[in-house]
């Protein structure tokens, strides 16, 4: 009987000591960023997009949620249209992770075929501190930090390797330097950009 009392008392003491050591308000563990990988450079209509910006990989990733319409995967979108005989192309994607809430747009205002498309100036003169995109431009917005990086004239270039208006495939690469339109003099560098989309 004495042995059973010692055992019960020992178990109760161990339980109480264990409870005393445990933090009743544990700190949340930081959520890990996903390990993102650049897609291969292809020209088959694989609907892929990726680039490196200041040393980190950017691809469309995550889910966006809206109050009345629910949640959606951040899929890559490409649109091409013709106005007054001139074809244009827009490629858009979003990245949503614990540390990033960003949207990306690549725009070519006059899609002629394979070749190099350097960034042009904005369509209209813009006052300082604005983030307007120019011809053949790239735009990267960061909602968490209220930044809008845009390509300035001749600071970025898009190289189209395939323009197939029959199969509706456009593929290419891009690179260059973007400037924060809200904080002039703040730059971000894009390297190894590639996309392969169907529209």
pLDDT of 11 reads 44
pLDDT for 68: 84
Q: How many helices and strands (H and E) does the chain possess?
A: 1, 12
The answer, as to whether pTM is greater than 0.85, is no
Digits of tens for pLDDT over the chain (199 positions)? Answer: 444 444 444 444 444 444 444 444 444 445 788 999 999 999 999 999 999 999 899 999 998 877 888 888 889 999 999 999 999 999 999 999 999 999 999 999 999 999 999 998 765 555 555 556 668 999 999 988 888 999 988 899 999 999 999 999 999 999 999 999 888 889 999 999 999 999 9
What confidence score (pLDDT) does residue 181 get? 84
- Nearest CA to 60 out of 40, 79, 39, 41 is that of 39
Q: Which of 141, 147, 143 is nearest to 183 (CA)?
A: 147
Q: Are 48 and 196 in contact (CB under 8 A)?
A: yes
What pLDDT sits at residue 41?
97
Tell me the domain boundaries of the chain. Answer: 41-198
- Look at residue 122 in the predicted model and tell me its pLDDT: 63
pLDDT at residue 130 in the model = 55
pLDDT of residue 117: 96
- Are 117 and 160 contacting, i.e. CB atoms less than 8 angstroms apart? yes
Question: Per-residue DSSP letters for 86-138?
Answer: EEEEEEEEEEE-SS-EEEEEEEESS--SSEEEE---BSS---TT----BTTEE
The whole-number pLDDT of residue 71 equals: 85
């Amino acid at each position: 009987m004495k042995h059973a009392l010692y055992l019960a008392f020992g178990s109760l003491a161990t339980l109480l000591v264990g409870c005393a050591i445990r933090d009743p308000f544990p700190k949340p563990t930081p959520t890990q960023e996903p390990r993102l990988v650049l897609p291969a450079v292809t020209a088959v209509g694989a609907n892929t997009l990726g680039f490196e910006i200041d040393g980190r990989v950017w691809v469309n990733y995550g889910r966006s949620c809206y109050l009345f319409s629910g949640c959606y995967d951040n899929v890559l979108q490409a649109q091409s249209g013709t106005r007054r005989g001139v074809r244009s192309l827009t490629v858009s994607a979003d990245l949503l992770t614990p540390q990033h809430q960003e949207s990306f747009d690549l725009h070519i205002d006059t899609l002629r075929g394979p070749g190099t498309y350097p960034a042009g100036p904005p369509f209209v003169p813009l006052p300082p501190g604005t983030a307007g995109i120019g011809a053949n431009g790239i735009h990267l917005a960061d909602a968490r930090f209220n930044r809008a990086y845009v390509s300035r004239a001749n600071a970025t270039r898009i190289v189209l390797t395939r323009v197939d208006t029959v199969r509706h495939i456009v593929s290419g690469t891009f690179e260059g330097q973007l400037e924060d339109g809200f904080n002039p003099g703040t730059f971000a560098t894009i390297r190894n950009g590639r996309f392969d989309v169907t529209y």
